[in-house]
Structure 1
Amino acid sequence: MTILPVILAAATEHGIEDSAQVDGGILDTIFKILHDFGVEGPFLLSQIISFCVVAFVLYKFAFKPVLVTIDERQTKIADGLRYAEEMQVKLAEAESQHKEIVQKASLEAQQIVNDARAIAEERITKSSQEASSRAAEIMTKSEQQIELDRKKMLAEARSEIARLVVATTSKVLAKELSSDDKSRFTESASASLVDSSN
């Protein structure tokens, strides 16, 4: 309840109805009502001054530091939110860089694997070709060696057969053959062997 309705109610009780009286005597009525309630001017003035001093002291030493602290906390909160946003941006950038690095590493690893496969295939092909070449060389040398051995064996067989023909002929004829006869029989036997081997 405010004081103005109380004052107006008290004024109507005292019978102030004339507007001329209201203008001139309203202040007297207000002072009388205030006096009836125990409100005195010097007291009221000292209370107003005390209230202003208390309000000033509270503002200076209580509200102002609290407001400063609130402002500092709001600033810290705003800084924290801004820092969190910056960190989110940096985290997104770091994740992007991480994905890029992983992708590059994956591509490099794939390239290394492909290169290793190509090198392995090249080496296998080269080794296979070298082995085929060596095998062909060995086969050629073996064939040459076989041919040489065959010719040597044929030569040995010719000389042995010629010797046997000469020995057999001399026994069949029961006489000693001359060197011309031996040569002629040897050549004849060799020619027969050459014809039969071809």
Structure 2
Amino acid sequence: MPPLVTPELGLIFWQLVIFLIVLFLLAKFAWKPILTSLKQREDSIEGALRMADQAKLEMQELRAGNEKLLADARLERDRIIKEATALANQLIEQAKNKANEEGGRMIVQAREAIQNEKNAALAEVKNTAAQLSIDIAERILRRELTDTDSQKELVNSYLKDVKLN
């Protein structure tokens, strides 16, 4: 079977001439803008990568700064909590001491009041006993000393008691 198309020398020559003209036109007008746009795109990608790296570094610095701030804030919080706890314990201790002092003072006052009441009660009992003794003695003496013999006998017995003591 014969080939369908067989190129001739003239066809090859004209195809080569057209190819060289197109190559010359592309080199003259198209290569420079294409290469320029490729170079610009390469530069913009490189600049974006540099900016991304710089942003990454800044983020790391910010993260480190935030961690330092958090650590400082935690230390400050712990210090404040420690001071507040110490102050609360001190206030509780002062309140306990004051309550103990007040309780002791109240106990002393209560003991003094009890002692005073006891002394007053004893004095009242003594006074009542003395008054009762006087009343009883007066009644006995009225009954027994109605006659003179009884009076003499009572005086003699008292005189004996006085001499013995």
Smaller-chain TM-score bracket: 0.7 to 0.9
Q: Secondary structure at the match of 1:62?
A: helix
Aligned to 2:162: none
Compare 52-61 and 132-141 and name the one that shifted more.
52-61
> What letter is aligned with 1:82?
Q
Counterpart in the other structure of 1:18? none
Match of 2:132 among 152, 160, 185: 160
Question: How far has the Cα of 1:39 moved from its partner?
Answer: 6.8
Structure 2 residue ranges without an equivalent (≥5): 1-11, 152-157, 159-165
Q: Give the deviation of 1:117 after TM superposition.
A: 0.3
Structure 1 counterpart of 2:64, which letter? A
> Distance between the aligned counterparts of 1:157 and 1:56, measured in 2?
148
List gaps (5 residues or longer) in structure 1. Answer: 1-37, 176-180, 182-187, 189-198
Aligned partner of 1:84 in structure 2 is 56
Partner of 1:131: 103
How large is the RMSD of aligned CA atoms in angstroms? Answer: 2.7
Q: Does 1:117 align with 2:89?
A: yes
Question: What does 1:1-198 align with in structure 2 at a 5 Å threshold?
Answer: 48=20, 50-174=22-146
Question: What is the one-letter code of the residue matched to 1:97?
Answer: L
**Deviation per residue, 1:59-108 (Å, 9 max, x gap):** 34433223212211211111011011111011101101110111111011
Partner Cα distance (1:54, 1:89) in 2 = 50
Structure of higher CA gyration radius: 1
Structure 1 segments (4+ residues) deviating >3 Å: 46-50
Q: Deviations over 1:119-150 (max 9, x none)?
A: 10111111111111111111111111211121
Q: What is the CA–CA distance in structure 2 between the aligned matches of 1:123 and 1:56, rounded to whole Å?
A: 99
Q: Check 1:56–1:113 CA distance in 2 against 1; reply closer, same or farther (3 A cut).
A: farther
Q: What residue number does 1:6 align with?
A: none
SS of equivalent to 1:139: helix
For residues 38-69 of structure 1, what are the alpha-carbon distances to aligned partners after superposition, in whole Å with 9 as ceiling and x for unaligned?
779xx76x755542321243334433223212
Change (3 A) 1:56 1:166: farther
State the TM-score, normalizing by the size of structure 2: 0.72
**Identity value in percent:** 11
Residue type at the aligned position of 1:62: I
Q: Which segment is superposed worse, 145-154 or 94-103?
A: 145-154
Normalising by structure 1, we get a TM-score of 0.61
| Equivalences, count | 139
